[in-house]
Amino acid sequence: MRKAVLLLLMITGQQMLSAQKTASIVGAGKEINPYKYSVVKKANFSKAAVSSAHPLASMVGVAMMKNGGNAFDAAIATQLTLAVVYPGAGNIGGGGFLLGRKADGELIGIDYREAAPEKASRDMYLDKNGNVQMALSQSGHLASGIPGTIAGLFATLPYAKLPFKQLIQPAIDLAEKGFVISEREASSLNATKESFSKSSTRPTAFVKENKWKAGDTLIQKDLAATLKRIQQKGAPGFYEGETAKLIVDEMLRGNGIISLDDLKNYTAKLRSPLAFDYRGHRIISFAPPSSGGIIIAQMLKMIEKYPVSSYGFQTTKSVQLMIEAERRAFADRAEHMGDPDFYHVPVKTLMSEAYIAQRMSDYYPDKAGISNMVKAGAIKESEETTHLSVMDAAGNMVSVTTTLNGGYGSRTVVGGAGFLLNNEMDDFSVKPGVPNMYGAVGGEANAISPGKRMLSSMTPTLVLKNNKPYVVIGTPGGTTIPTSVYQAIVNIIDFNMNADDAINKPKFHHQWLPDEVAVEKDFDIEVKKQLQAMGYKISERGAIGRTEAIRILSNGKRETVADKRGDDSVAGF
Ligand code: DON
């Protein structure tokens, strides 16, 4: 009897505990008020910090760390929140990469990149004349790979401390009760209205009769129900049962090919992170199927033997050198990189000192290289994504880049499930030599094959100084991702900049093909003219990247910054 009472007490106690644990922290007057919040671009925090694309997402991540969680808890909760408050790129219908370094030095790489469905085939986007049907790889049902995000979050969970139920609760509340949208979100939803309607077969929360305006509340009931199924059932709440059925029903109503088996068989994969040294710092980044880690290693190693700091920040001399490194690394991307489970990526060679020295042997500091002549090295051995950077009090560092690919992905909302599917299939090389949405070309290494993961540019990165945590960094931006991370690292290490300047100064980008340099509007006009005189074709473009960075100062404070280019915002304590 006493035993039974004790048991009853224990059960009630546990129920109370879990009820308490999943109690809402979101709502008017609560810890996080979704009806009144503001963007914070930078702050120095003593213990823990998050920088992400949305103020509410950063605040939720920080709340988890305040309530006993670590950086991994924050990364999970922030991603789930982004899936609600930042539908253009935050997602449960897409994929991503998580790069972590535990306080004890253990490195963790979780690959939850989308995979091609079983029914996918190499020429699936070519018409009978062999021409690419871009519309099919970029929007609508056929553009989606099998979503990886929920598998990725559950693969992260063993490194976290709090129950998943608690980590997902704020996202559920935000979807169910709504949150106030910004001017930027309103105009972005308005601009996408037609393609939501064209690519979705059921009414969606993103389309309303009148125009969205800043201050409107976005409520997503179907998404809340999906998140609750995941809360109750774990990953099978997404990959099996009701949600899986809703995804497949949506596929059947469109021209999609994702099947119940595709969903059930999807797994996140552990990937050993890539690490290399640059001017006395240890840089850690993501391995294939990301091209990012290899590309930043190549670019930094190519410029390391030059006294870049003495050239000066964004002088013609330093920019020209950095462009030539970009050209060469991107030529290698097109030829040698793809899913390592399907294609042998010669990672060691591509990152070796000898290979990199040879790649720069035809570099001339006074004239533009020519991409047609800078082919990929011979190897003998055979806009919309989002980033979050997290650092906790114990010294765990987490860098996550996650994506639907284009803004709002395929624009297909899963009927009854309320979330957007990715258009990641376009990241494959749909036909050798034909540029994708980001102008990237590829061939055999990145050809479509069932179960294969499409090559990515996402580059979640960590930097150590004296073997201690120094910088957590990453960005969206398609092929401009590795160049943005590269330039921010050079700004910090070579030009001694603080994190704010390092991410917010103008950027330039060369990706081998097309053979031109894209620069942001505020790029120095004189340097531009001098580069043109050397033979560079230069085009101006909109914002490059939205980088989120945390840098540890010598006094231990976390200098936390969010890119000026969006609603990106920091939080911490
Ligand atoms: O994985 C990739 O490389 C792309 N799907 C990333 C897309 C992206 O960054 C768009 N954001 N602006």
Residue-range domain boundaries for the chain:
42-119+133-269+384-428, 274-382+457-572
Q: What integer pLDDT is reported at residue 372 of this predicted model?
A: 85
Residue with tokens 């765990």: 396
Contact 41, 570 (CB under 8 A): yes
Q: For ligand 1, is residue 456 a contact (CB within 6 Å)?
A: yes
Q: What integer pLDDT is reported at residue 380 of this predicted model?
A: 59
Please state the φ and ψ torsions of residue 12, each to the nearest 5 degrees.
-60, -40
Give me ligand 1 centre to Cα 132, in Å: 20
Alpha-carbon distance of 234 to 238, in angstroms, equals 8
**Coil/strand/helix, residue 404:** coil
- Which distant-in-sequence residues (6+ apart) come within 8 Å of 265 by Cβ? none
Q: Which residue's CA lies nearest to atom 5 of ligand 1?
A: 405
Give me ligand 1 centre to Cα 293, in Å: 15
The stretches of 391-524 forming alpha helices (DSSP H) are 480-493, 499-504
- Which distant-in-sequence residues (6+ apart) come within 8 Å of 521 by Cβ? 506, 540, 542
Q: What integer pLDDT is reported at residue 376 of this predicted model?
A: 80
Contact 81, 54 (CB under 8 A): yes
Give me ligand 1 centre to Cα 102, in Å: 26
- Count other C-beta atoms under 10 Å from residue 434's C-beta: 14
- Ligand 1 pocket mutation pick from 337, 405, 453, 480 by most atoms within 8 angstroms of CB: 405
Q: What integer pLDDT is reported at residue 22 of this predicted model?
A: 74
Is pLDDT above 80 for 422? yes
Q: For ligand 1, is residue 403 a contact (CB within 6 Å)?
A: yes
Buried b (16+ CB within 10 A) or exposed e, 180-196: bbbeebbebbbebbebb
Q: What integer pLDDT is reported at residue 473 of this predicted model?
A: 98
Q: Does domain 274-382+457-572 bear CATH number 3.30.1330.10?
A: no
Give me ligand 1 centre to Cα 220, in Å: 25
Contact 293, 319 (CB under 8 A): no
| For range 356-361, the mean pLDDT | 95
Q: For ligand 1, is residue 385 a contact (CB within 6 Å)?
A: yes
Is 204 noted as a catalytic residue in this protein? no
pLDDT-above-70 percentage for the chain: 95
Alpha-carbon distance of 464 to 284, in angstroms, equals 8
| For range 212-237, the mean pLDDT | 98
* From 78, 243, 385, 483, active-site residue: 385
Q: Which atom of ligand 1 is nearest to the CA of 481?
A: 9
User: Taking each helix axis from N to C terminus, what angle separates 480-493 and 316-336, rounded to the nearest 10 degrees?
Assistant: 140
Q: Which atom of ligand 1 is nearest to the CA of 454?
A: 1
Q: What integer pLDDT is reported at residue 373 of this predicted model?
A: 85
Q: For ligand 1, is residue 477 a contact (CB within 6 Å)?
A: yes
Which tokens is 39 given? 């963007």
Of residues 284 and 383, more confidence is placed in: 284
Q: Please, which pLDDT band fits residue 7 given cuts at 50, 70 and 90?
A: very low
Question: Which of 160, 90, 126 is CA-nearest to residue 568?
Answer: 90
- Which distant-in-sequence residues (6+ apart) come within 8 Å of 219 by Cβ? 175, 176, 177, 178, 205
| For range 291-315, the mean pLDDT | 98
